[in-house]
A and B are shown apart, each in its own frame.
Chain A
Amino acid sequence: MTDQARIRNFSIIAHIDHGKSTLADRLLERTGAVSQREMREQVLDTMDLERERGITIKAQSVRLAYTSPAGEELVLNLIDTPGHVDFSYEVSRSLAACEGALLLVDAAQGVQAQTLANAYLAIDAGLEVIPAVNKIDLAAADPEAAAAELAGILGGSPDDVLRLSAKTGQGVDDLLETLVKEVPAPSGDPDAPLRALVFDSYFDAYRGVVCYLRVVDGSLGSGDSLRFMATGEVHEADEIGWLTPKAVPVARLGPGEVGFLITGVKEIDRIRVGDTITHAQRPAATALPGYEEPKPMVFSGLFPTDGDDFEKLRDALEKLRLNDASLVWQPETSKALGFGFRCGFLGLLHMEIVRERLEREYDLDLVATAPSVAYRVIMPDGEETEIRSPQDLPEPNDRRGVSEPYVKAMILTPSEFVGPIMALATGRRGIVGDISYMTPERVELDFEIPLGEIVFDFFDLLKSKTRGYASLDYEPIGYRESDLVKVDILLNGQPVDAFSAIVHRDAADAYGRKMTGRLRELIPRQLFDVPIQAAIGGRIIARETVRAKRKDVTAKCYGGDITRKKKLLQRQKEGKKRMKMVGSVEVPQEAFVAALQVDEES
């Protein structure tokens, strides 16, 4: 066990690409945790996708041995946090395992919305927040402006903000000293019943589920019988230890210590992030605060392009879930797209990551339906039910009302874009709240907006309207009743479930016109006229027609060259394979994707 006075637990809060992983590498190097030979760029980001996108999806932690200039031997536990709003619960659990947080901001880009959101999480959690400006070696760096922004958020003087370059190592020694000085040592009660926080977990093919935990009170010994307070499950501690970052087994973890625990549990959803571990024999009276069930926010149907890949998709989802308890799904049958799964995600990035991993790591070709949110329907008998797919919305006569999730959205932007952003937000039923100037050039815009309005293309539009400068974060603020309708798209009189959407009544006509217009461009001419209609219930609100094709014949037989003509038609036939039969209408696979794509005018 390590004396609490010698421990400092901290995490780094930073926006994507602001240099968190590089700084982590530098710290590992300075403290000798990783030898030069083992040094791989960005050791902590182990998933390929993370390395490629430069983001951290799964949090990790590492124990660093640090000797201060005064000769003091200390243990620094760096607890990594995922850097995206979708994973804010995971971030909050990681922060709950720390006493301090380093708020790292790119000297060229300044504070971003996510960083700010996570900084507020850290402040709310009572952490000591140490501001630092990174990448001061860059030509485009403006450390003074970034420092001023940080001082504006956290209070204090811009002069107190650390300045460093994780890339060159400049300022890293100062940073280490500041951390030791400013971050409080843990102050758990060593004699109290055990309370340890599970702040992350992952699945190891050989060892089963590995938990990352922080001991708060009491101590945890190898072989102890442990109770997981949220799930009520009891497991034995098969192995406990430190991550240096290699796993080093130890006999006992004392208060304030951070380490791993292996219990032999194989199913990731039996170990919940945020749960409190205590002793089965001498349990703690109350769990640590803040536990929540994982809650999907965004839903989308995933369908294999090739119907034969359904089982392969199921296997792939199951494999992904081994490491991602927040991924949920249920089988879904679409008349248009066949068999697939309606999947629930924590947010848009989570959805994108899952889709990309399915296609890349499991070699699947997928069609994804437009993302939607979970609506709550008040039935005629007053019962409330949740629906996750537009098809499940009852007809107007069979429901008393519908409510939808709202979020508080926070946008940080250069002030010149305030107008376009407000237009975008109010066009999406956003209600603008606070507008606060962090500096004369940077503004924080707060508004309340239905989540359904931002899950689809809001982020892309925001980026394009602000040339990529604005950043967005949001948090759920509950359900509100709205005047929502389901718009169906009918091909040749038959509704195509994949194109149905729940939209606000005022936006229904525009949605109907947009979709029918797009589909008219995307659906090739057939043997008969194909009417494309948008309808609310039985009422048609928009209509287009794909005229029957009139000529499809080779003029000439090329002087007896039968083979060539055969090949030509054979090629055309191959092209047709990428069509989905929707009723009697052939719809190209691309139409499902393209019809739902972002456009500038919307």
Chain B
Amino acid sequence: MTPETADAFANHAAAYVHIPFCSAVCPYCDFAVVAGRDDLTERYVAALCAEIMGSEPWRPVQALYVGGGTPSRLDPGLLAMVLDAVERRHGIAGDAEVSLEANPEDFGPNFARTLRAIGFNRVSFGAQSFSAPVLSRLGRRHDAAQIEHAVLHARRSGFTSVSLDLIFGTPGESLDSWQHTVERTVALEPDHVSCYALTVERGTPLGRAVGNGAPAPDPDVQARAYQLADRRLGAAGYGRYETSNWARPGHECRYNLTVWAQGEYLAFGNGAHGHRGGVRFRNLRRIDAYIEAVERGETPRVGEETASGWASEIERLFVGLRRTVGVVPGSGGVALLAAPEGERLSQAGVIEVREGRLRVAKPLLGDEAMRAVLGLADPEVRENAASADTVSLDA
């Protein structure tokens, strides 16, 4: 993917829809999810459609991402209602990427065909691993064979893009086991692969277990696992276009590219986050609070953050530097390279400027660069402050 193509996603119109339902909550998960409340699915989808229909009309979306939770837990009819609402209110572009997250165990042949028929063309499977002990430790309820079957059904049903999510660095998992997962993945020839380091989040069962002395993921092991995957996927024709994402050419996730290009995306459902008109906003996180607010005719939105000027420039770097193509340096990049922190990062080879782009050359140390970016002061404000000092000294 060329840098220009990647940057052009800044003008894309995207939308995210959240489906919080799960059969059980995985021990590491801290998303806005709910298990054992399938009784709420219809009310929830009704609220979701009401929220979509109540949103200010925009333009046809070029990428629609239905994530969760476990969207594949919903009846296809309910998913169809959601797509229909987006189509009616904003439109869905003819060549749009319409993506859905699915658990392998949900993805039978009939389900796959139905989803394809109602308009989904991309599916992202929460495969996580091909190792039974790792899947069990991660609290997943499928096995390796089910992943393979799900991919097969997706292909047969005509999905144009199939993605697998993998998790590496689970305590106790050997590099050999991880290599096995990567090989099985490559053998399935998906179009897109995401590899995420297992992260211990506060407030999750995993977080509590680690707090009580259970082994935590070893960052050195995770680093080796990441490099192993990067080499193997690269050799198999997958390009890493973002810190955690690899794709065959043309199969990069457009919704994600929009987010990282600082583009605009609508957001619907509990705990969903959007970005539009320079404003980042989020919805009520609790499902019942969300449903009740929408049913009362109130907005489920609870927080907003407006970024303009320097803050927006910082944000452009902050999101854009996750991409392999990096960013046009701009005033933020210039400030970063001039700052002592930036100098340190350049010396350590974490960031670099090549062919007019500022890039994170060591993605495994990306947060080092991100923290430096967040600490950058607006050069104009500094100049103003300096001149103000001069005035007061004269006076």
Contacts and interface: CB of A to CB of B under 8 A. Distances in A.
Given A527-B368, A559-B67, A550 B273 contact: no
Contact of A561 (B222, B223, B282): B282
A53 interface: no
A572 B199 CA distance: 16
Most B CB within 10 A of own CB, among A527, A553, A554, A564: A553
B219 A549 contact: yes
B154 interface: no
Contacts of B16: 559-560
A560 B368 contact: no
Interface in B362-386: 363-368, 370-371, 374-375
A68 B331 CA distance: 89
Contact of A572 (B198, B315, B345, B367): B367
A562 to B, nearest CB: 6
Interface string B352-370: 0000000000011111101
B373 to A, nearest CB: 9
A39 B229 CA distance: 78
Contact of B197 (A527, A555, A573, A576): A555
Contacts, number: 101
A556 interface: yes
B348 interface: yes
A560 B31 contact: no
A569 interface: yes
B319 interface: yes
A555 B315 CA distance: 18
Nearest to A554: B367
Contact of A559 (B197, B226, B272): B272
Candidate in B67, B363, B375 with the most chain A CB atoms within 10 angstroms? B375
A561 B283 CA distance: 11
B59 interface: no
A561 B259 CA distance: 9
Interface in A558-602: 558-564, 566, 569-570, 572-573, 576, 584
Contacts of A556: 196, 199, 244
Contacts of B272: 559-560
A528 B348 contact: yes
A560 B273 contact: yes
B367 A527 contact: no
Interface in B188-234: 196-199, 219-220, 222-224, 226
Contact of A560 (B196, B226, B259, B315): B259
B322 interface: yes
Nearest to B304: A563
A554 to B, nearest CB: 6
Nearest to B256: A557
Contact of A552 (B67, B196, B244, B368): B368
B147 interface: no
Given A563-B280, A563-B282, A551 B350 contact: no
B370 A569 contact: yes
B305 A550 contact: no
Interface residues of A, number: 26
B226 A562 contact: no
A563 B305 contact: yes
B344 A550 contact: no
A16 B211 CA distance: 43
B366 A552 contact: yes
B161 interface: no
Given A551-B222, A553-B243, A560-B16, A569 B367 contact: yes
B273 A559 contact: yes
Given A556-B196, A560-B265, A549 B18 contact: no
Contacts of A555: 196-199, 243-244
B239 interface: no
Contact of A527 (B220, B280, B363, B365): B365
A557 B275 CA distance: 14
B39 to A, nearest CB: 24
Nearest to B372: A573
Interface in B320-368: 322, 344-345, 348, 350, 363-368
A572 B371 contact: yes
Contacts of A553: 197, 243, 363-367
Given A527-B365, A560-B267, A563-B305, A569 B273 contact: no
A561 B367 CA distance: 16
A529 to B, nearest CB: 11
Q: Which 4 A-B pairs have the closest CB atoms?
A: A550-B223, A527-B348, A553-B366, A555-B196
5 contacts: A550-B224, A552-B364, A552-B366, A553-B243, A560-B16
Given A551-B222, A569-B371, A570-B374, 9 more contacts: A527-B348, A553-B366, A554-B199, A555-B243, A557-B259, A560-B16, A560-B267, A560-B274, A573-B374
Interface of B: 16, 18, 31, 67, 196-199, 219-220, 222-224, 226, 243-244, 256, 259-260, 265, 267, 272-275, 280, 282, 303, 305, 315, 318-319, 322, 344-345, 348, 350, 363-368, 370-371, 374-375
